[in-house]
């Protein structure tokens, strides 16, 4: 009799590992002594083989990515939720999250919110940015039309990032009203109390899973300067100097492209700022 099944760890509370099986049932599992002996510590998001008759996790599949804060594995997509007003639009934050996503092997997707709050002139400015991101191959959606965005959730493990007030919880409620998430919270730290550390949990949404953890809002740029250069994908292969950081070097093609406005100056300025933040 075959008792082994493939599942995904969606929550860990002390030694209890909640595992979602492919038939959509959830079972509570413990880790096996052998796993512990091998020094393998399962985390939320891990795909695993479970023995459903003994309720034990037999093994963990190789991870696509592994984040430490929040502690989670195998995130497929990072929705970068960016408001156009209150909090103000920031292409710098978008560019920072793009580098974080790429450096962790996560597909970034931009979602623009609150376009109902801005003037036509401001809309034109946002559209300029959006068009550039689209041009370099990044998907951009607006929260006012979620039909196509909804499809991104199918069979994917998704995390959301963005400033407080950007509209992350509102967006998720729009996609699945049964989530009933609180919106308009001043801060995630308020109301919840300092000492109630919340568990990282994957919630089912529209045929996929979302990481329900506020930790993503404050993802830090724990990235080497070399990676920042590498994950500014639109800069790649344009400058012929292999080790050029496109900053003070003479004859750098990137700087020329900025001068000629082929690369927008905001994108380049964000890059220089990120370089300074990198390790």
Ligand X SMILES: Nc1nc2c(ncn2[C@@H]2O[C@H](COP(=O)(O)OP(=O)(O)O)[C@@H](O)[C@H]2O)c(=O)[nH]1
Residue 239 binding partner per list ligand X, Zn ion, Mg ion, none, with a CB distance cut-off of 5 to 8 Å that depends on partner kind:
Zn ion
Residues in CB range of 227: below 8 A, 6 or more apart:
99, 103, 278
Q: Is 121 left (phi over 0), alpha (psi -120 to 50) or beta?
A: alpha
As separate numbers, helices (DSSP H) first and strands (DSSP E) second, the chain gives 8, 13
CB 170 → Zn ion: shortest distance, Å?
41
Pick 1 or 186: Cβ nearer ligand X = 186
CA 264, distance to chain mean position in Å, is: 24
Residue 129 binding partner per list ligand X, Zn ion, Mg ion, none, with a CB distance cut-off of 5 to 8 Å that depends on partner kind:
none
> Can the peptide bond before residue 70 be classed as cis, meaning omega within 30 degrees of 0?
yes
Residue 170 binding partner per list Zn ion, Mg ion, ligand X, none, with a CB distance cut-off of 5 to 8 Å that depends on partner kind:
ligand X
CB 167 → Mg ion: shortest distance, Å?
8
Pick 28 or 183: Cβ nearer ligand X = 183
CA distances from 16 to 55, 64, 165 (A): 10, 23, 33
Q: Do residues 46 and 9 lie in contact, with contact meaning Cβ atoms separated by under 8 Å? A: yes
Residue facing Mg ion at closest CB distance: 169
* Residues binding ligand X (CB under 6 A): 113-114, 116-117, 143, 162, 164-170, 183-185
CB 87 → Mg ion: shortest distance, Å?
13
CB 262 → Zn ion: shortest distance, Å?
14
Pick 130 or 166: Cβ nearer ligand X = 166
Angle 115-117-121 from CA coordinates, rounded to 5°: 75
Q: Do residues 274 and 221 lie in contact, with contact meaning Cβ atoms separated by under 8 Å? A: yes
CB 235 → Zn ion: shortest distance, Å?
8
Residue 244 binding partner per list ligand X, Zn ion, Mg ion, none, with a CB distance cut-off of 5 to 8 Å that depends on partner kind:
Zn ion
Pick 171 or 252: Cβ nearer Zn ion = 252
Tokens standing for 13?
């509370």
CB 87 → ligand X: shortest distance, Å?
9
The string of DSSP letters for 48-80 reads EEEETTTTEEEEEPPPS-EETTTTEE---EEEE
Among 169, 206, 213, 270, indicate the residue that binds Mg ion (CB under 5 A).
Answer: 169
Contacts (CB under 5 A) with Zn ion, residues 197-256: 239, 244, 246, 252, 254
CA distances from 101 to 24, 95, 225, 236, 239 (A): 28, 10, 15, 17, 23
CB 38 → Zn ion: shortest distance, Å?
45
Binding site for Mg ion (CB under 5 A): 168-169
Binding site for Zn ion (CB under 5 A): 239, 244, 246, 252, 254
């Amino acid at each position: 009799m075959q008792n082994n099944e493939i599942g995904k760890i969606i929550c860990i509370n002390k030694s209890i590992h909640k595992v979602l099986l492919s038939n959509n049932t959830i079972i509570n599992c413990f880790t096996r002594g052998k796993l512990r002996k091998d020094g393998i510590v399962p985390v939320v998001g891990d795909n695993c083989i479970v023995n459903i008759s003994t309720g034990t996790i037999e093994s963990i599949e190789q991870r696509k990515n592994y984040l430490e804060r929040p502690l989670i594995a195998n995130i497929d997509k990072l929705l970068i939720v960016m408001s156009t007003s209150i909090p103000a639009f920031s292409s710098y934050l978008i560019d920072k999250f793009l580098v974080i996503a790429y450096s962790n092997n996560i597909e970034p997707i931009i979602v623009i919110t609150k376009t109902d709050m801005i003037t036509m002139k401001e809309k034109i400015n946002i559209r300029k940015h959006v068009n550039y991101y689209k041009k370099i191959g990044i998907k951009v959606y607006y929260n006012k039309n979620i039909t196509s965005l909804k499809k991104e959730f199918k069979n994917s493990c998704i995390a959301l990032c963005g400033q407080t007030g950007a509209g992350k919880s509102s967006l998720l409620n729009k996609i699945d009203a049964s989530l009933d998430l609180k919106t308009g919270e001043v801060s995630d730290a308020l109301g919840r109390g300092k000492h109630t550390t919340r568990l990282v949990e994957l919630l089912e949404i529209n045929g996929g899973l979302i990481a329900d953890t506020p930790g993503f809002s404050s993802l830090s740029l724990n990235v080497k300067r070399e990676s920042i250069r590498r994950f500014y994908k639109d800069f790649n292969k344009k400058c012929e100097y292999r080790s050029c950081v496109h900053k003070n070097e003479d004859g750098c093609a990137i700087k020329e492209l900025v001068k000629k406005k082929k690369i927008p100056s905001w994108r380049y300025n964000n890059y220089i700022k990120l370089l300074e933040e990198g390790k």
